[in-house]
Amino acid sequence: MDVDPIPARPDETQLLTAEQVVERLLERPALRAKALSCVLPAIRVGTEWRFERRDLESWIERES
C-alpha cells in the first residue's frame, strides 16, 4: 500500500514572527503603504503566528 509522505514543516529558522515581518516591511519606505494590504500565508505555533521567510521575500520582490 502506498502512503502519501507527510509534508515537511518549514525549518524553524525560516519562520518569522509578526514583529519580524513588520520590521522587514518597514525597511523600505515604498513598501509601507503596500504592506497594509499584504496577505501572507501563516502557520500557527501555539498562540502565535509565524510567516515563512520565502513568502515574505517573494511578496517583496513582486511589489518592488
Please enumerate in sequence order all residues whose Cβ is within 8 A of that of 63, keeping only pairs 6 or more positions apart, or say none: 31, 34
Task: Kindly report whether the global pTM for this prediction surpasses the value 0.85.
Answer: no
Q: Where are the beta strands (DSSP E) in 1-64?
A: 15-17, 42-45, 48-52
Cell matching residue 3? 502512503
Per-block mean pLDDT, blocks of 10 residues, the chain (64 long): 54 82 85 78 89 90 84
Please work out, in degrees rounded to the nearest 5, the angle formed at the alpha carbon of residue 45 by the alpha carbons of 51 and 19.
45
Residue at grid coordinates 503566528:
49
User: Which residues are bridge partners to 15 per DSSP?
Assistant: 52
